[in-house]
Structure 1
Amino acid sequence: MTGDSYRAFASVYDLLMEDIPYGQYADWVRDIAGPAGGRALLDIGCGTGVLSERFAKDGYRVTGIDLSGDMLAAARERFAEAGLEGTFFEQPMQAMEGHSGYDVAVIAIDSLNYVTAQEEVAAVFRHAYDALNAGGHLLFDVHSPYKMTELFMDGPFTADLDSVSYIWHTYPGVEPLSVESEISFFIRRPDGLYERQEEFHLQRSYPPDTYVRLLSEAGFRVRSVTADWTGDAPESDSERIFFHAEK
């Protein structure tokens, strides 16, 4: 993907995530982990660095990892334009290595749902545990079972902006609580014509009890499981589940 294309794709990605209250997410992390104070934060699945930038501005020393080199290029550019320091690595979260000495680890905005095999989710938790200092915090969110089986089936979803449009079709996946997505992006070029790009995504979630068990097996103490920014336990129609675990 060319530089121009990854910038356009990054804008599409941010559009897909525009309903995420990034400020509220950063506040949630801060409320649990305490003031940044120059402490080290590992942003796992950092994407284009929108949330990483907020953490850096709060005063964390941010390291981001992501599977996509294109997303990381956008994240590095974002930090450079903001005059911020950050370190970024292209790694899959289930095989991340070389990370230690962190006070906080975050897997934000359902990034963990792209790790679809249960044994690989367990590997993510083990690597996060190894990366954290004693007393360190792991915070993440996932799609709820209700969202996977009901809300994602309300597609197709569409958006039409000046420079980018997309059509997003969703289908039930083969495995339980999985969703397959076919996304067609139409990116406007400088000459006014549109370039079409296709993306296929597979996401899978698990019941909250499964995540609790895997966290415990990795050595974490699970401190809270809440839903939809309420601070309350998940209900049958909750959409997003939040986990806080401590090493």
Structure 2
Amino acid sequence: MSYEQFAYLYDRLMHDVPYDKWVQIIKKAANDYKVKGANLLDLACGTGELSIRLSRAGFQVTGIDLSEDMLSVAQAKTMEAGEAVFYIEQDMSQLEGLPVFDIVCICCDSINYLQTDEDVINTFKSVYEHLDENGLFIFDVHSLYKMNHLFINQTYAVNDEDVSLIWQCYEGDYPNSVEHDLSFFQLDDKTDMYRRYDELHFQRTYSLEQYIEWIEQAGFTILKVEADFSEGPINEKAERLFFYCKKK
């Protein structure tokens, strides 16, 4: 599943995403676990916002995304920022033709957009094949609590002068899944009228135990699991889980 027209409004409507926190935890993990190189693969890189910040932080970044529209935005932003990020259009569950990397990250709950168990399992296998023996794999996902108690039957809205968004969340067909029904309205300067665009996006998560099982089956050792950008115990109302893994 990939973003289409929403890709061109994503940064505007999602301006509060804490990208700098992701950069901080990746830099800290690279230091804590003594990762030797700086070649980093940013899977599901979207509009390149995180890729650009990681590049500024000193990583040599390759960004991969399934959405051609997202990558078009990312490329333009990267050129404007004067950074060097190499972008590729691929499915993260079917990576091919790539070198190995010192760090692979999948941020912003992007794994939750994979629709089947097989897609998640294949993604972990693909990452394993493209990670250096001493490399680090970092990813985050929505918790069961967030998916089932904070998303379902909720409505979010953004209302600016020239663009608005209505975001409705419904329970999905699969366990622990949600459908995001997005309707956004953008002012057309030529006609002085608003154009409406609709997209439907799907997210699905799994239990902590299930992720651990799949990660270990793919050949990884889990170094630690954290929640909500903080160290310490994971409580039952944690919203986002972070996994730090290396090859066995």
TM-score tier by shorter-chain length is: over 0.9
Query: How many angstroms apart in 2 are the aligned matches of 1:142 and 1:214?
Result: 14
Of stretches 186-195 and 29-38 in structure 1, the one that deviates more from structure 2 is 29-38
CA distance in 2, matches of 1:162, 1:41: 38
Q: Shift of the alpha carbon at 1:162?
A: 2.5
Q: Determine the structure 2 residue equivalent to 1:115.
A: 114
Counterpart of 1:183? Answer: 182
Instruction: Report SS of the residue matched to 2:20.
Output: helix
- Contact 1:55-1:62 at 8 Å conserved across structures: yes
The secondary structure found in structure 2 opposite 1:94 is coil
What is the aligned partner in structure 1 of residue 30 from structure 2? 33
Query: How far 1:88 moved relative to its partner?
Result: 0.8
Structure 1 residue 13: Cα displacement: 1.7
Stretches of structure 1 lacking an aligned partner (at least 5 in a row)? 1-5
Would you say how many aligned residue pairs link Structure 1 and Structure 2?
242
Q: Distance in 1 between matches of 2:208 and 2:151?
A: 18
Q: Which range moved further: 115-124 or 230-239?
A: 230-239
CA contact (8 A) 1:227 1:234 kept: yes
Q: Against the structure 1 CA distance between its residues 233 and 117, is the aligned structure 2 distance closer, same or farther, given a 3 Å change threshold?
A: farther
**Counterpart AA for 1:14:** D
- The 3-state SS of whatever aligns with 1:213 is helix
Q: Secondary structure at the match of 1:109?
A: coil
Q: Distance in 2 between matches of 1:174 and 1:30?
A: 38
Instruction: Name the residue aligned to 2:87.
Output: 88
Deviations 1:150-202 (A, max 9, x none): 10025211111122111111110111110011100101112221111110001
**Who is 1:21 aligned against?**
18
C-alpha distance 226-118 of structure 1, shift in aligned 2 (>3 A): same
Matches within 5 A, 1:1-247: 9-10=6-7, 12-34=9-31, 39-191=38-190, 192-247=192-247
Preserved CA contact (<8 Å) 2:153 2:171: no
Q: Identify if the C-alpha distance between structure 1 residues 37 and 79 changes in structure 2 by more than 3 Å, giving closer, same or farther.
A: farther
Quote how far apart the aligned CAs of 1:24 are: 1.3
Distance 1:17 1:147 in 2: 18
Q: In 1, are the aligned partners of 2:35 and 2:134 still within 8 Å (CA)?
A: no
1:38–1:57 distance in 2 versus 1, CA, 3 Å: farther
Encode CA deviations 1:189-222: one digit per residue, 9 max, x unaligned: 1222111111000100001111111111111110
The answer to whether the Cα contact below 8 Å between 1:8 and 1:187 also exists between their aligned partners in 2 is no
What secondary structure is seen at the aligned counterpart in 1 of 2:93?
A: helix
Q: 1:101 Cα deviation (Å)?
A: 2.1
Q: Distance in 1 between matches of 2:161 and 2:65?
A: 28
Answer with 174-183 or 32-41: which moved more. Answer: 32-41
How far apart in 2 are the matches of 1:171 and 1:48?
Answer: 25
State the secondary structure of the residue aligned to 2:152: helix
Displacement, 1:111?
Answer: 0.5
Task: Note the aligned Cα RMSD (angstroms).
Answer: 1.9
Amino acid aligned to 1:75: A
Percent identity among equivalent residues? 40
Separation (CA, whole Å) in 2 of partners of 1:50 and 1:152: 24
Aligned equivalents of 1:227 and 1:16: distance in 2? Answer: 25
- CA shift, 1:36, in A, is 8.7
